[in-house]
Amino acid sequence: MTPPNLPLLNSARESIDCAAAANGGECVLVGAGPGDPELLTLKAVKAIARATVLLVDDLVNQAVLDYASPTARIVHVGKRGGCKSTPQAFIERLMIQEAQAGEVVVRLKGGDPAIFGRLGEELEHVHAAGVRVSVVNGISSGVMAATALACPLTHRDHAHGVLLLTGHAAPGQQELDWAQIAQLAHAQRLTLVIYMGVKGAAGIQAGLLQGLPQHTPVALVQSATLPTQRRIMTDLSGLVETIAAEQVQSPAIILVGDVLKASLVLQQYGDGHDTTHHYRSAEPIWRNQAIG
């Protein structure tokens, strides 16, 4: 991808040396969005262009690095759920060390760093070290998963709120009480957006079935916004079966709730107008449908 010739890129790069020298370096925690580089914010582009050091998560689309200065040092640190990656403590030490040496450090993360991106830990440690730190938010993959289905997350008729949840507890921490969450979602008409839930889907499904009807609509969106994006519809009773049958892999978002009935993709299917996607099964409508 060839970066656009934006004036802000040139002005940002010209300010690198004087900003680092005057302020003793800094850390900027930047959300790179769900994958499509065109979904970067202008503020993220400017931060990447200013960086002298970039610490890049595995889920960040490498195309966004085209915005970086040719002289910037790029360090890939992994951080894909369930996979080997650089220890978090080492990343934090490196951020602090480079900033204290006068570098403009950009910590580049997939999605929005404020949503399951360990933003709190990094802010705390960098600030405690006396290093100037700021945050540039990105578009979360959970939001874009719904958009991929032409579906809102809230709807006057279907959903009065949203719960953003992780399906992956940290080592030594207790898993979420999915039964209690289901009861709350059912009573208050909430949409569930579950990050990192594929591996633990069996436990999630079992818990949610204790408080939600078995035919509650469910969608799985893998690699949202990328050319490899996949969208699969099922219902709550078919969640685990569908993940296995369709070989769903991370990164994937699980959406649960009646708001999915508002999906234009599914409405097109129901009207017989959608001829661009394959549906693996059509009975009932919410079971095992691979949309593409």
CA distances from 275 to 215, 224, 265, 278 (A): 25, 21, 11, 8
What order do you get walking across the sheet with 289-290 strand by strand?
Answer: 161-166, 190-195, 252-256, 217-222, 230-235, 289-290
The residue annotated as part of the active site, out of 46, 79, 109, 144, is 79
Residue of 35, 37, 39, 32 whose CA lies nearest to 56: 32
Annotated catalytic, 235? no
Beta-carbon count within 10 A of 275 CB: 7
Beta-carbon count within 10 A of 165 CB: 20
Nearest 5°: CA angle at 280, between 279 and 284? 85
The single-letter code of the amino acid at 43 is: K
- Cis preceding-peptide flag for 251 (omega within 30 of 0): yes
Annotated catalytic, 95? no
The residue annotated as part of the active site, out of 196, 233, 235, 258, is 196
Annotated catalytic, 79? yes
The single-letter code of the amino acid at 23 is: N
* Residues contacting 66, CB < 8 A, separation 6+: 1, 2, 3, 37
3-state secondary structure of 135: strand
* Residues contacting 118, CB < 8 A, separation 6+: 88
Instruction: Please identify every residue annotated as catalytic.
Output: 57, 79, 196
